[in-house]
Chains A and B, each alone.
Chain A
Amino acid sequence: EVQLLESGGALVQPGGSLTLSCAASGFRFSSYAMNWVRQAPGKGLEWVFGISRGGGNTYYAGSVKGRFSISRDNSNNTLYLRMNSLRVEDTAVYYCVKENEEYISSGNWFDSWGQGTLVTVAS
Chain B
Amino acid sequence: DIQMTQSPSSLSASAGDRVTITCRASQTINTYLNWYQQRPGKAPKLLIYAASSLQGGVPARFSGSGSGTDFTLTINRLQPEDFATYYCQQSYTTPRTFGQGTKVEIK
Interface residues of A (CB under 8 A from B): 35, 37, 44-47, 50, 59-62, 95, 100, 104, 106-116
Interface CB pairs A-B, < 8 A, 15: A44-B98, A45-B98, A45-B101, A47-B95, A59-B94, A59-B95, A62-B95, A95-B43, A106-B32, A107-B91, A108-B91, A109-B50, A109-B91, A111-B49, A114-B43
Shortest distance between the CB of A65 and any CB in chain B (Å): 10
Chain B residues within CB distance 8 Å of chain A: 1, 30, 32, 34, 36, 38, 42-46, 49-50, 55, 87, 89, 91-101
For the complex with contacts A50-B94, A61-B95, A115-B43, 12 further pairs of A-B residues with Cβ separation under 8 Å are: A45-B36, A45-B38, A45-B44, A45-B89, A59-B94, A107-B30, A107-B32, A107-B50, A109-B89, A110-B34, A110-B44, A110-B89
